[in-house]
Amino acid sequence: MFTNCLQQSSCRLTYDNPWLARKPLKHEHKRYKQSLSLWTPERHITGHHSTCWTPSAQHENGHTAQSLDDTPALFPTDPQYRRVLLKISGEALQGGMGFGVDPQILRFVAREVAAVMVQGLQVAIVVGGGNYFRGANAWDGLERATADYIGMLATCMNALSLQAALESAGVETRVQTAIEMREIAEPYIRRRAVRHLEKGRVVIFGGGTGNPFFTTDTAAALRAAEIGADAFFKATKVDGVYDCDPNKHPGAKLHRKLSYNQVTTQDLDVMDQTAITLCKENSIPVVVFNLTTAGNIIKALTGHPGIIGTTVDRNGDSSGGTPDPVGKAFMYDAASL
C-alpha cells in the first residue's frame, strides 16, 4: 500500500489507496484504519506541492497533523450510499468574502470530502458559479443565453479551484466540463466519469449542462441520474426548508422530510422544477443541508444516523410544524440571524 520513491537523494513515501475502488472487508478496514493512525499528511516539502505521507514521529517541526482516524464516531459502520453527487453552490464557496472563493472554505470542503473518500464512497461534485456571475441577473443589452454561458465559465473557475484544494489534501481529482476546454479539463464523457469514480477519484463537473436556460441544480440532477448516484446532496449556506418564514414566524420549524409532490405542487423553494422532476423520475433522494457546519458533509454523505437538513423523496412531510398560512416553504439562511 505504501511505496518508496526517491527524489533528489531523499527518501519519500507516497500514498496509494487501493481501497477507494471498493468497500473494504471488515478485517481490511480495520488494518487500513490502523495504518492511517501512523501516517499523517504533510504538504510543501522541499518545494514540492503535492501531498505526500510521512510517519507521524518524523513530522516536520514536531507537529503531527490530525489523522482521519481521530473522528471514527462520524462514520457509520455500514455507509448507506455507494455513489453520491454533491452540489455546492457558488455562494457557499465565497464564504464571508462577498465575491470570489474563500480559500478557507475550499480547504474545509476538501478535508471533509477526503474523510468521506476513506470510507470507500464514490463522490461526484457539481459546483455553481453564483460567487462570480449569475446568468439570471443579466443586465439590459446582455442576452440571457450569453449571460448563461458566462455563468458556465464561472462554474469552471470554481471547479478548478476545488480540484486544487482536493489534490492538496491528497484526493485524486478529475474535472470534466460540458463545454470543451481540453487544455485545462476533460470533456464530459459519462462512461469515463463513471470509470474515474470506480477508481476512487473525485469527479467535478463544470460548465453546467452546456446549454443556456438551465440551472446548475438541473445540471447536478442530470449528472446524478447519468452516473447512477444513490443520492443528491445540495450543500448551501442554508439549514434546510422551513414550514414558514422564520424571520416572520418565531415558531417556524424545519422540514425534515418532504415529498417530490409537495415540492412541485406547492412550489417550494428547494430547487427549480426541472431539477426536482429529474430526481423524482429517477427516484433520487435530495438532501438540502448547511455546508458551513463542520462535519455536515461527512455525516450527510455517509448516511449518518443523525438528521441533517431536509430530505426530499417519495415520503411525505414529517416536520410536525405549524403549516404556513400562505402554503409556502422557505429556504432559510442561518447567517441572516
Mean pLDDT by 10 residues, the chain (337 residues): 38 39 46 40 34 34 39 54 94 87 94 92 96 83 92 96 96 97 96 97 97 95 97 87 75 87 84 93 93 88 76 69 41 41
Q: Which run of H or E residues covers position 301?
A: helix 296-301
Side chain identity at residue 337, one-letter code: L
For residue 305, give Cα distances in angstroms to 33, 74, 308. 21, 10, 9
**283 dihedral zone (left: phi>0; alpha: psi -120 to 50; beta):** left
Side chain identity at residue 256, one-letter code: R
- Per-residue three-class SS string for 226-285: HHCCCEEEEEECEEEEECCCCCCCCCCCECCEEEHHHHHHCCCECECHHHHHHHHHCCCC
Please report the sign of the dihedral spanned by the C-alpha atoms of residue 194, residue 196, residue 201, residue 204. Answer: negative
Alpha-carbon span 95 to 107, nearest angstrom: 12
Q: What is the separation of C-alpha 77 from the centre of its chain, rounded to a whole number of angstroms? A: 21
Grid cell for residue 183:
487544455
CA nearest 68: which of 96, 104, 110, 26? 110
Grid cell for residue 219:
445540471
CA nearest 263: which of 238, 241, 233, 231? 241
Total-model pTM: 0.72
**175 dihedral zone (left: phi>0; alpha: psi -120 to 50; beta):** beta
